[in-house]
């Protein structure tokens, strides 16, 4: 793919609150092809983030020559970029990015959470999948989220999410250390310096963080540490621009920098256990123990790689359902000429999606979600049909699934394939507490990390300067379905809840060679978004691979798609969508309704971070719905 090279200094009032002289800016006029901004090396950014948390129009892709990083916050992007500038690897930059994100975007991710990572080693050509998903404590029962105890069958208070029952064993610190041991180049200790300095010196609350604090203020007030940090003395939420200092977080990071095992043993582990068991605010305690933390392991999974047209697309296997969901959707779409359904009026914001393009993708996703909902869970506890992803992703099977799609009418809801005893689906959990880091380093190594505390501010429990996750609410609270069949995604001791996170790597078609030969790296991407992550990844992949959009256009394009429900999502936050009178005047909405779709125009919560290779260059794009930016080196 070719992108026009445009060197420009243009306004960024909607992207960053403050810029120093010579800093990167991301704006431009509408263009049929995406424009690119040549990035100064790790442009210096005054903290404060974007001036608004609204959709940022007319962002341009950022072109760099040898390394690129995209995160959900400018301060994290800058810090990780400086690691790459100084010769660090993608693994090194991941550590720094996560440490800073846990400070400046604590509602979304942090050391009290978990994540999934795909890592590409440019020397060996290997793709490795790291599972740092949180795990249920050994004392968890199948009714752990359902009621307080076998003798007290009342629900956990104030609810499962805000109680100690939602807190799983955090995995992200051990994941980062493991990938650093294997792929890092810089010293472990020094990678925490930017976050430690920022925590000690302070940073300005961004508009997005301020909005999250305001929305969660009543719940944060129930936790003494969270209330003191995020709220004013009168209980009101701290506002955008307020300077926060977090010496407790700096101290915690200092301990981890000195000894990465200190998070899982010793005083920090003791504090985590005590926080999960804290009954203050009438919260039902969790049953996490220091043994749960000390015994936690990062699991190596076999990456889920398959062909889509001329590309190889690699995703995360279970317990994430994202990789299977994306692969199944693409496998169905391969039977349709998606290039014929390119958006019209293509501009920097991705253009106007066509009715048939959205229809086909939404229908393919319904089929994928139907199987995902029924069969996918932690495969260490519940086997996939045929004990392999190949059953759900087989060519003949997906050909049959594609035949179920009508160009004339939506199927509404799809029936899952028949592979025997089902796992009863659980209702999706709303999620606004996840982040994405996408990196390509100067040696060509790449990392796609989707990292999370689950919901915004996780469990609302704060300890030692960081938020603890509520990841266990991704389990089904009900252990058995109405038909008496055990639910695959039920709580079990040590089990990891199903996720929809979908870190993704894309490679060009492999040249001729022995089996397993891999083509050059093409793209690195991922997104937050809870159960809709699959939809965000698919629209971005189709946008780039079938429709020729650049990474920024593909991320900026209207978010659309469907789970296995009658509703089809069309992101009403996008400027091309006319939401007046419930979309009655919007041609896309009306066209979908004519095909029987029930259109949901609610704003979508994607946070895409995308890096793609264009010849010798890299091109980065960040989601305009959040605060992220792309950075790298000058050409």
Q: What is the pLDDT averaged over residues 199-214? A: 97
Tell me what pLDDT residue 634 has.
Answer: 65
Confidence of residue 227 (pLDDT cuts 50, 70, 90): very high
Q: What is the pLDDT averaged over residues 40-62? A: 71
89 given a catalytic annotation? no
Which range (75-79, 316-320, 611-615) has the least confidence? 316-320
Tell me what pLDDT residue 22 has.
Answer: 30
pLDDT tens-digit series, residues 3-34: 222 222 233 333 333 322 233 333 333 345 56
pLDDT tens-digit series, residues 422-468: 544 444 444 457 999 999 999 999 999 999 999 999 999 999 999 99
Sole residue written with tokens 């959205």: 358
1-86+118-152+297-456+467-635: CATH topology is 3.60.20
Q: What is the pLDDT averaged over residues 209-236? A: 97
In this model, does residue 244 exceed pLDDT 80?
yes
pLDDT tens-digit series, residues 369-390: 999 988 887 878 888 888 888 9
Which range (97-106, 276-285, 346-355, 419-428) has the least confidence? 419-428
536 or 430, which is more confident: 536
Q: Where are the beta strands (DSSP E) in 290-425?
A: 299-301, 304-308, 311-315
Question: Residue 525 pairs with which residues in a beta bridge?
Answer: 504, 610
Q: What is the pLDDT averaged over residues 485-513? A: 90
**Nearest CA among 406, 439, 363, 397 for reference residue 633:** 439
In this model, does residue 586 exceed pLDDT 60?
yes
pLDDT tens-digit series, residues 543-558: 999 999 999 999 999 9
- Please answer whether residues 229 and 238 qualify as being in contact, where contact means their C-beta atoms are separated by less than 8 angstroms: no
pLDDT tens-digit series, residues 126-163: 999 999 999 999 999 999 999 999 999 999 999 999 99
Please state, in angstroms and as integers, the Cα–Cα distance from residue 564 to each residue in 253, 323, 374, following that order. Answer: 42, 17, 11
- Please answer whether residues 5 and 38 qualify as being in contact, where contact means their C-beta atoms are separated by less than 8 angstroms: yes
Mean pLDDT of the chain: 91
In this model, does residue 632 exceed pLDDT 50?
yes
Tell me what pLDDT residue 188 has.
Answer: 99
Q: What angle do CA 385, 389, 392 make, to 5 degrees?
A: 65
Please state, in angstroms and as integers, the Cα–Cα distance from residue 290 to each residue in 40, 169, 178, 565, following that order. Answer: 46, 10, 20, 41
d(CA 529, CA 79): 24
d(CA 272, CA 415): 43
Q: pTM value?
A: 0.92
Active-site position among 434, 504, 568, 579: 434
- Identify how many contiguous H helices and E strands the chain contains and give both numbers: 16, 25
Tell me what pLDDT residue 28 has.
Answer: 33
Query: Where does residue 619 rank: exposed (0-12), middle (13-18), buried (19+ CB within 10 A)?
Result: buried
Tell me what pLDDT residue 381 has.
Answer: 82
As a three-state string, the secondary structure of 444-511 is: CCEEEEEEEEECCCCCCCEECCEECCCHHHHCECCCECCCCCECCCECCCCCCCCECCCCEEEEECCC
pLDDT tens-digit series, residues 53-84: 689 999 999 999 999 999 999 999 999 999 99
d(CA 498, CA 240): 34
In this model, does residue 514 exceed pLDDT 80?
no
Confidence of residue 517 (pLDDT cuts 50, 70, 90): confident
Sole residue written with tokens 């992101």: 571
Sole residue written with tokens 């650049």: 550
User: How many CB atoms lie under 10 A from the CB of residue 153?
Assistant: 10
Domain ranges of the chain: 1-86+118-152+297-456+467-635
Q: What is the pLDDT averaged over residues 506-529? A: 87
- The runs of H, that is alpha helices, within 382-461 are 390-393, 395-402
């Amino acid at each position: 793919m070719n992108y026009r090279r445009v060197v420009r200094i243009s306004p960024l009032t909607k992207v960053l609150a403050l810029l120093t002289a010579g800093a990167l800016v991301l704006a431009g006029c509408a263009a049929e092809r995406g424009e690119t901004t040549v990035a100064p090396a790790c442009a210096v950014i005054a903290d404060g983030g974007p001036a608004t948390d609204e959709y940022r129009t007319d962002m341009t892709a950022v072109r760099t020559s040898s390394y690129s990083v995209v995160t959900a916050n400018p301060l994290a992007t800058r810090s990780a970029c400086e690691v790459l500038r100084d010769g660090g690897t993608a693994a090194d930059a991941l550590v720094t990015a996560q440490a800073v994100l846990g400070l400046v975007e604590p509602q979304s991710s942090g050391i009290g959470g978990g994540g999934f990572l795909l890592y590409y080693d440019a020397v060996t050509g290997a793709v490795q999948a790291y599972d740092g998903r949180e795990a249920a404590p050994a004392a968890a029962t199948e009714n752990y989220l359902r009621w307080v105890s076998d003798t007290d069958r009342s629900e956990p208070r104030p609810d499962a999410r805000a109680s100690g029952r939602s807190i799983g064993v955090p995995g992200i610190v051990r994941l980062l250390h493991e990938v650093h041991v294997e792929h890092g180049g810089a010293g472990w200790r020094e990678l925490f310096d930017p976050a430690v300095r920022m925590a000690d010196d302070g940073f300005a609350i961004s508009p997005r963080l301020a909005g999250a604090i305001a929305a969660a203020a009543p719940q944060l007030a129930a936790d003494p540490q969270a209330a003191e940090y995020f709220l004013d003395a009168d209980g009101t939420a701290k506002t955008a621009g307020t300077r926060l200092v977090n010496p407790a977080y700096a101290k915690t990071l200092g301990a981890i920098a000195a000894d990465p095992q200190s998070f899982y043993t010793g005083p920090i582990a003791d504090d985590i256990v005590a926080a999960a068991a804290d009954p203050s605010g009438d919260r039902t305690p969790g049953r996490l123990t220091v043994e749960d933390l000390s015994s936690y392991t990062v699991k190596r999974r076999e990456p889920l790689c398959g062909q889509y047209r001329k590309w190889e697309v690699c995703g995360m296997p279970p317990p994430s359902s994202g990789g299977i969901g994306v692969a199944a959707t693409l496998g169905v779409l391969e039977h349709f000429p998606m290039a014929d359904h390119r958006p019209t009026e293509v501009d920097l914001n991705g253009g106007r999606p066509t009715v048939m393009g959205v229809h086909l993708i939404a229908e393919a996703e319904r089929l994928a979600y139907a199987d995902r909902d029924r069969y996918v869970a932690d495969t260490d506890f519940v086997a996939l049909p045929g004990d392999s992803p190949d059953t759900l992703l087989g060519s003949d099977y997906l050909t049959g699934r594609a035949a179920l799609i009508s160009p004339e009418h939506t199927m509404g809801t799809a029936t899952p394939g028949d592979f025997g005893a089902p796992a009863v689906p659980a209702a999706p959990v709303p999620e606004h507490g996840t982040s994405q880091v996408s990196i390509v380093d100067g040696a060509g190594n790449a990392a796609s990390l989707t990292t999370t505390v689950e919901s915004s501010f996780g469990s609302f429990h704060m300890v030692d300067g960081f938020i603890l996750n509520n990841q266990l609410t991704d389990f089904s609270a009900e252990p058995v379905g109405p038909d008496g069949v055990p639910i695959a995604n039920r709580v079990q001791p040590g089990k990891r809840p199903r996720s929809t996170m979908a870190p993704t790597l894309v490679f060009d078609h492999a040249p001729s060679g022995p089996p397993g030969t891999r083509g050059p790296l093409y793209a690195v991407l991922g997104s937050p978004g809870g159960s809709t992550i699959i939809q965000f990844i698919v629209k971005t992949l189709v946008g780039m691979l079938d429709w020729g959009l650049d990474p920024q256009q593909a991320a900026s394009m209207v978010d659309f798609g469907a789970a296995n429900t009658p509703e089809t999502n069309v992101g009403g936050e996008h400027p091309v969508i006319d939401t007046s009178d419930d979309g009655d005047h919007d041609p896309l909405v009306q066209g979908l309704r004519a095909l029987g779709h029930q259109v949901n125009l609610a704003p979508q919560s994607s946070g895409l971070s995308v890096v793609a290779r264009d010849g010798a260059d890299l091109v980065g794009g960040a989601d305009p719905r959040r605060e992220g930016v792309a950075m790298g080196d000058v050409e």
